[in-house]
């Protein structure tokens, strides 16, 4: 099975959701997906032609991407690569989780499909077996993604990509339980994601909705 065929199968399992990229069909030409005219959230926030999102917009985006994670976990799908480059922005500025090349589990937790996808180190939860993935590792990556949305930069901006051994420095901090402490509206949620204090995406979503309500 090719990676695109796997993505098609997983998207069919997940089904349609407003926060998940729509699968429009698989043909001989490949996988046809919904078009998101504003590119990725990484590109969107880096584009100087776009104004910085308001506090409320950032929280709404954080809630919407958490809403996208909740149903895929309910369908026993582990995304395995939640990060800003895999979150698309449509013309109405709605976020769409994309790039479904992770894992699909049986009811017993056995891996049925595995696209062998994995997060880059700023979104990667430290674990003994780097080939393993779980709902908790997805939530860790979600924490780094919400952090990016709320602050406009990735974790540990003091560690530049140009530095020799930058990836090991990031991994070492995470492994030592050292997490960003920037103040932002969702800091409680990002910290709980990184510290693996959520037992499910439902809990993270509940907290995101609470913060959103407090801003109204």
* Average of per-residue pLDDT across 197-202: 98
Residue 46: both structure tokens together: 């880096």
Kindly report the CATH number that applies to the domain delimited by 3-215. 1.10.510.10
Measured CA to CA, the distance from residue 199 to residue 193 in angstroms comes to 10
What pLDDT sits at residue 2?
87
Its pTM stands at 0.96
Q: What is the pLDDT of residues 91-134, one digit of tens each?
A: 999 999 999 999 999 999 999 999 999 999 999 999 988 889 99
Cα 74 to its chain centre, rounded Å, is 16
What pLDDT sits at residue 130?
84
Measured CA to CA, the distance from residue 33 to residue 107 in angstroms comes to 28
In the chain, where the domains are located:
3-215
Q: What is the pLDDT of residues 5-24, one digit of tens each?
A: 999 999 999 999 999 999 99
Q: What is the pLDDT of residues 21-71, one digit of tens each?
A: 999 998 888 899 999 999 999 999 998 788 889 999 999 999 999 999 999
| 3-state helix, strand and coil shares in percent for the chain, rounded to the nearest 5 | 45, 10, 45
Q: Three-state DSSP class for 20? A: strand
- Beta-bridged to residue 95, according to DSSP, are 89
What pLDDT sits at residue 51?
80
Q: What is the pLDDT of residues 171-181, one digit of tens each?
A: 999 999 999 99
Measured CA to CA, the distance from residue 204 to residue 30 in angstroms comes to 35
Residue 166: CB atoms within 10 Å: 15
CB distance 149 to 141 below 8 Å: no
Q: What is the pLDDT of residues 128-171, one digit of tens each?
A: 888 899 999 999 999 999 999 999 999 999 999 999 999 999 99
């Amino acid at each position: 099975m090719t990676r695109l065929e796997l993505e098609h199968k997983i998207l069919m399992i997940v089904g349609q959701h407003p926060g998940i990229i729509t699968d429009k069909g698989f043909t001989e030409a490949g996988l046809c997906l919904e078009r998101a005219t504003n590119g990725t959230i990484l590109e969107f926030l880096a584009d100087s032609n776009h104004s910085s999102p308001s506090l409320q917009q950032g929280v709404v985006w954080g809630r919407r991407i958490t809403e996208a994670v909740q149903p895929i976990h309910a369908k026993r799908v582990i995304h395995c690569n939640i990060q800003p480059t895999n979150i698309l922005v449509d013309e109405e500025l709605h976020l769409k989780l994309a790039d479904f090349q992770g894992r699909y589990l049986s009811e017993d937790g056995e891996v049925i499909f595995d696209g062998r996808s994995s997060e880059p180190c700023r979104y990667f939860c430290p674990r003994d077996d780097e080939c393993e993935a779980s709902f908790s590792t997805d939530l860790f990556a979600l924490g780094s993604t919400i952090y990016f949305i709320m602050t406009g930069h990735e974790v540990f901006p003091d560690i530049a990509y140009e530095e020799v051994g930058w990836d090991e420095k990031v991994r070492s901090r995470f492994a030592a339980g050292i997490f960003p402490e920037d103040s932002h509206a969702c800091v409680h949620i990002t910290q709980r994601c990184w510290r693996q204090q959520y037992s499910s995406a439902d809990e993270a979503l509940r907290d995101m909705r609470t913060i959103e309500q407090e801003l109204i």
